Amino acid sequence: MIFVDKDTRVIVQGITGRQGRFHTKLMLEYGTEIVAGVTPGKKGEVVHGVKVFNTVEEALEEEDAEASIIFVPAPFAKDAAFEAIEHLDLVVIITEHIPVHDSMEIKEYARKHGTRVIGPNTPGIIAPEITKIGIMPEKVFKKGFVGVTSRSGTLSYEIASALSKENLGQSTLVGIGGDAVVGTSFREVLEAFEKDDETEAVVLIGEIGGNEEEVASEFIKKMKKPVVAYIAGLNAPKEKRMGHAGAIIYGKSGTAESKIEALKNAGAHIAKLPQDVPKLLKEII
């Protein structure tokens, strides 16, 4: 697995909100070690047995933690992210609709502090049957040796379910986020999977817009582990955003065709449909 393990201790920022409460309960039931919650002005409250503090720094005075998951509304997400980045190794930002300039500042702040940020607009990260820091439906995942990384939460659940049904369990799934600017790139995730002893093959789930897949393809050329890729949006119209903030085509840039061509040229095996991914994997491993 990559980025997390069974001992990863987590702080939930925005734990007293509706989404924070709901997903904290599910993460705890899955076995995630949540040690504290943070909501300014709510110190002393308890959510599903988890103590709430006003700040991350305050929480760390009583509890050790390495990671944070952020459910803070978009207007306040940058401040929450900065606070977590200053103190922790991993920050998962679930929040949607964060302004692009805020995301750019978050990414740069994380780079300066050496903190890994996953997201924004991500379902999070899960090591099946071990821990999850995210909002994904855990029932579709199964422990195994296939690393999965995706820009789309829904597609990652669909493909993980198809893999699990074929007994192709997953080592880790990392949702990098669907926004135009994200903290961790496809390439960085692939680099981690390539080094991971528990990962034998990788599935990359991309979509139109941006150049994440093209940049990743340059690293795929060097990989020893096989890669299966699925790119959504083959029939998407140009200059119309499709689902995610980053899923938009301008001119010839960011099309599904250009991404598929780059990945194919890099040696990745291309699935035409999500349900084709397990079959392709079985053919190459």
Q: DSSP readout, 27-48?
A: HHHHT-EEEEEE-TT-TT-EET
The conformation of residue 121, written as its DSSP 8-state character, comes to: S
CA distances to 16, 181, 233 from 131, rounded to whole Å, are: 21, 26, 31
| Distance in angstroms (rounded) separating the CA atoms of residues 182 and 119 | 5
Q: What is the helix (H) or strand (E) element at residue 282, kind and residue range?
A: helix 276-284
Give the tokens for residue 218: 């340059």
For 28, counting Cβ atoms within 10 Å of its Cβ (0-12 exposed, 13-18 middle, 19+ buried), the class is: middle
| Distance in angstroms (rounded) separating the CA atoms of residues 232 and 255 | 10
Q: With CA atoms as reference, report the closest residue to 164 among 123, 196, 203, 118.
A: 203
Active site residue 244: yes
- Which residue in 23, 87, 244, 269 is the catalytic one? 244
Residues catalogued as catalytic:
244
